[in-house]
Structure 1
Amino acid sequence: MKKYDCVVIGSGPNGLAAAIELQRSGLSVLVLEAKDTIGGGVRSEELTLPGFIHDVGSAIHPLGVASPFLSQLPLADHGLEWVYPPDAVAHPMDNGVTVTLNRSVEITADSLGVDAEAYRSLMKPIVNNWNQIAPDFLGPLRIPKHPLKLAGFGLKALRSTTSLANSLFKTPEAKGFFAGLAAHSTLPLEKTATSAIGLVLGALGHVVGWPFPKGGAKAITDALVSYLQSLGGEIEAGREVRAITDIPPCRATVWDVTPWQLLEIKGLALPTNYRKQLQYFQYGPGIFKIDWALSDPIPFKNPKANQAATIHLGGTLEEIALSERDAWHKKHTSHPYVLLVHQSPFDSTRAPVGKHTAWAYCHVPRYSLQDMTEAIEAQVKRFAPDFRDTILGKHTMHTRQVNQYNPNYIGGDINGGAQTINQIFTRPTFSLTPYRTAKKGVYLCSSSTPPGGGVHGMCGYHAAQTVLGDLFPDAQKKASPQ
């Protein structure tokens, strides 16, 4: 049996990122994927009707462009092309107003009326200092390189969304808009540090926009795979790993899995204390997802909503906060916060000529099997009354089906674990080197490690750097973000 320096288990963006960093450092790397297709949460399929391409998992990728690791890989040379809608995100309100996040802080602020100056003072320092502070919060807990600039961000980021929004903004439009950004955290908006997600996503919209790959999210995976193979890395699909004996001989294994999955691997022999810590790892709520094949673009009452591929449906801060609180406390709501993605008006490759696609999900209790189709479509219809007239076909997934699609989505949790204040930097355990397990040669690189969920590859990059430092200090190291 062929021997390798490293074997990566799981081919999500973090697994592929780890494999690339190890391979281009001069090591021999094999990636094993249980599914028949590569990509983890970054795949595209014809879920509804022939010719309609849907992103099964992630769909919008600001961190794919802004990632200190992915951004310096030659992925364009391997077929990846980004599409940039005019606005990053739209947030319609019941009064007919639609707030949009423009690349310009000034344009976005001016649209908020009396809250313009508050928005400028909130976002400008983060946007202006992005290149200095981003590497610090896109990695493990460590001494920051720019402590004063990071502190300015941190003082705002540590506050709850409800506290920050209510203290800064006066209008329902500004409060609801910020709540829509922060609700990506999948946490009750009253919780400490939920503002961090809203601030990061808002800043990303100004720094790089909220782009997506032409042709489907699968294009990211295809580019990463192509680049890895060009370096000499190997990938095998349909190779499920249930025991250590399923892995070829190697010096290190790097696991793109979540804690509970690692515990199920036979023969791994993790120390008892470490196993107990993994057992206490906390997962968050799940999602219920719908994909639609459409005859026309979504007919929003306010056409400003059609300037963005991402639309947040939920109205006011209070309504969004209730929706997220209910999901966390294992309740279903009839008026859920809905994250809607509508790429086809900006990417004609997504559907047959003249036709369109859309995708949406809402947060639900983990392991929920409740059908949320009616509730989600009602939220879309609320801001686009004729929406249902455009539906040609649909495909739904409850949390069990989401988990079946990607085993890392435990109970439908797409973030690899709850991103609470005690699990932002100390996931999956409290450690200054969270990618290193308590067993020599065994490493974690999934979104259950810092910086958590999102298509950025930073979990994989930092895991690979840990492997190199521990086991291959003399390995060739090419230019990488530090």
Structure 2
Amino acid sequence: MGETVDAVVIGAGPNGLVAANMLVDAGWDVIVLEATDHLGGAVRSAPLAAPGFLSDVCSSFYPLGYASPPLAALRLDEYGLRWTNAPHVLAHLLPDGRAAVLDRDLDVTAASLEEFAPGDGRRWRSEYARWAEVSDELLGALLTPFPPVRPGLALYRRLRTAGLLRLARWFLLPARILGEEMFEGEGGRALLAGLALHTNLSPVEVGSGVYGWLLAMLGQQYGFPVPVGGAGRLADALVDRLRARGGEILLDAPVDRVIVGAGRALGVRSADGRHWRARRAVLADVPAPALFLDLVGADRLPDRFVDDLRHFRWDDATIKVDWALSGPVPWVNEAARRAGTVHLRVDTPGLVDFSADLAAGRVPERPFVLVGQMTTADPTRSPAGTEAMWAYTHVPRREKWTAADIDRHVERIERVIEQSAPGFRDLVIGRHVTGPERMEAENPSLVGGAINGGTAALYQLLFLRPVPGLGRADTPVDKLYLASASAHPGGGVHGGPGANAARAALARHRVVAGDLYAAGVKAAQRAVYS
């Protein structure tokens, strides 16, 4: 083979870059091979809609990234990363024109919800107090390998058995039921259900409530921060840190094979025939089906594992529109003018109907539209007095989305915005549309426009992600680790899958303990896949 390194990382998305940084910190010689001509995966920025208007190509707001222990440990502020927030975190607009407002000022959020029902402000304060009690342990449990022994023990010490049992029930609640148990008014209920739909989960789906609650509490504590100067600044900081510590990155280097011998990952081959030998590990920030079926090959894997993988479920497809606007959005509700994120004109029953359309494979006539006002959040994104804005909505997965289909849905999206902000269309000076196929063409990990790396449904989480197994980055091939959002803990820009893959690779190569680790993983996998 050609060049030899300690570790090869496939993919320069945020998870791959987090993993590579952790390995170079441990003294490993690392190369990252990226298939495209750009870094950062779904975390990058470009002037899409018009010159001078900076759009985030995919993801934008990063409450989990800001709170993430793996990202915090990298001290990316030393490499130029700065964060900023919009005045309001989020405004959820209801069909009657009212708005539920989430703000970093607890009094503002509580007062907004109190307008919908007496006592809901107090109830919100109570929920935030519950979050403050367990947030550190809970984030640790969510973002570390399964089972989360240390944070789990810390949660037990704090809550004891009775508290953990009630927390477990509460984690399984659908967002609609959680909202009904938590609030009397529609404001708080719709806020939770809308936040749950930042995943692909319906408000009536088991486990959706915890996603809405988690994002709501993170928003209350940290806001929905954005990197100053665009999402790409987060990727830039990861790249600069990696290179400063000796890591190497190669663009336009698509890997077409993981080389396996005697049950171990030995290295990789790129599409142009070049080879890299990996002394210690191969880590893959690519979707699970692509890694196992395309790069490794079904013949190298246990039959039961391959059978399980064929049932891997993607999340819904996505259509995203970026606009360059000549002025601020003329929202009828003043709260939306100060919000970085806006949910448009859907109450909880409407969110349920929207999700039902997706589940049935129907294109929603009235989509749930999630808006990002980027200049409101970060004034560097466009000239003074203007707005760089995007919106996305989920649509059913299809083999083919025609240009006419996408245009019709963009019309629906703009109609929904115009209803809440009459005159919006008159401000448009540039537009850029990204449909599911274009999304995948620009980032092969966003398969069919799926932005979560696979459904966030309960049947594909924890030890069931990406297939029933260990809930860890280890794979049936020794020294090969899954480092993408297809692995636990799943989608979102927080670095969890990459950090877990790096930890697994480091554990495998500890003196003496590494062999015991490998033997334990192998025995567990034999029990699951034999």
TM over 0.5: yes
Write out the 4+ residue segments of structure 1 that deviate beyond 6 Å after TM superposition: none
CA contact (8 A) 1:16 1:224 kept: yes
Question: 1:139, CA displacement in angstroms?
Answer: 2.8
Which residue is 2:285 aligned to?
256
Deviation by residue 1:102-140 (Cα, 9 ceiling, x = unmatched): 123343123212222333333320133211221002233
Q: How does 1:1-400 map to 2 (within 5 A)?
A: 1-113=2-114, 114=118, 115-142=120-147, 143=149, 144-145=152-153, 146-147=155-156, 148=159, 151-244=165-258, 245-246=269-270, 247-250=275-278, 251-262=280-291, 263-265=293-295, 269-367=300-398, 369=401, 370-371=405-406, 372-400=409-437
How far apart, CA to CA, are the structure 2 residues paired with 1:56 and 1:311? 18
CA positional deviation for 1:472: 4.1
- 1:152 deviates by 5.0
Stretches of structure 1 that go unaligned for 5 or more consecutive residues are: 476-482
How far did 1:316 drift? 0.5
- Conserved 8 A contact 2:453-2:485: yes
In structure 2, the residue matched to 1:429 is: 467
The two structures have a TM-score, normalised by structure 2, of 0.86
SS at match of 1:53: strand
Q: 1:214 to 1:150 in 2, by over 3 A?
A: farther
CA–CA distance in 2 between the matches of 1:302 and 1:188? Answer: 26
Structure 2 counterpart of 1:90, one-letter code: A
Instruction: Give, in whole Å, the separation in 1 of the partners of 2:378 and 2:314.
Output: 34
| RMSD between superposed Cα atoms in Å | 1.9
Aligned to 2:389, what secondary structure does the other structure show? strand
The structure with more helix, counted as a fraction of residues:
2
* Sequence identity percentage: 36
**2:526: which partner in 1?**
none
Q: Could you report, residue by residue, the CA deviation over 1:145-200 in whole angstroms, capped at 9, with x for unpaired residues?
A: 21336655433221001112233322222221221111112122111000011011
Larger displacement relative to structure 2 (33-42 or 266-275): 266-275
Number of equivalences: 476
1:139–1:326 Cα change, 3 Å: farther
Out of 477, 490, 503, the residue aligned to residue 452 of structure 1 is 490
* Separation (CA, whole Å) in 2 of partners of 1:11 and 1:120: 40
On the 8 A contact 1:139/1:462 being kept in 2, the answer is: yes
**Alignment match, 1:480:** none
| Contact residue 59 and residue 217 of structure 1 kept, 8 A | yes
Contact 2:317–2:396 (CA under 8 A) maintained in structure 1: yes
8 Å Cα contact 1:187/1:328 also seen in 2: no
After TM superposition, the structure 1 stretch with the greater mean CA deviation from structure 2, 219-228 or 304-313, is 304-313
Q: Deviations over 1:244-267 (max 9, x none)?
A: 332400031100011221111166
Assess if the C-alpha contact under 8 Å between 2:85 and 2:378 holds in 1: no
1:420-463 residue CA offsets vs partner (Å, 9 max, x unmatched) = 11212121122235311101111101011111111100110011
Q: Distance in 2 between matches of 1:474 and 1:31?
A: 28
Give the distance between the partners of 1:98 and 1:397, measured in 2 at CA.
28
In the alignment, structure 2 segments of 5+ residues that lack a partner are: 259-268, 514-530
2:81–2:228 CA contact under 8 A, matched in 1: yes
Kept in 2: contact 1:285–1:328 (CA 8 A): no
**Alpha-carbon distance, 1:45 to partner:** 1.1
Where 1:257 maps in the other structure, the secondary structure is coil
CA contact (8 A) 2:226 2:377 kept: no
Q: Which has the larger radius of gyration?
A: 2
Which segment is superposed worse, 179-188 or 138-147? 138-147
